[in-house]
Amino acid sequence: MTVKDKRREVRISSVDDELLVEAAGLLGVSVSEFLLDRARAEAASIIESHRSIVLTDAAFSQFLEVLDAPVRPPEALVEQARKARRLKRAD
């Protein structure tokens, strides 16, 4: 069993409280358990959606082609690099 050593507090309206109490009661769980279960599921979903990229087969193939293509830096960047001062290491 995980030790619950952190606490979060949230201010809510009485209307929201009544809604949460009723929903938790219908599921037979405490309001805290109801909120934590829902928040955990939503948090996992949000994290997963930001960690994953889903592409069609065509888009994936195009993505791989772009990655494998030779790098062609913009001419303005190349010119700026030519103009830049050489850095010297200070010992």
30 near 24, Cβ under 8 Å?
yes
CA distance 33 to 21: 11
Residue 72 has pLDDT above 90, yes or no: no
pLDDT of residue 69: 94
DSSP symbol at 41: H
pLDDT of residue 1: 77
DSSP 11-60: ---HHHHHHHHHHHHHHTS-HHHHHHHHHHHHHHHHHHHHH-----HHHH
Question: What average pLDDT does range 41-51 have in this prediction?
Answer: 95
Residue 82 has pLDDT above 90, yes or no: no
Residue 82's alpha-carbon distances to 40, 51, 73, 87, in angstroms, are 52, 38, 13, 13
pTM above 0.85, yes or no: no
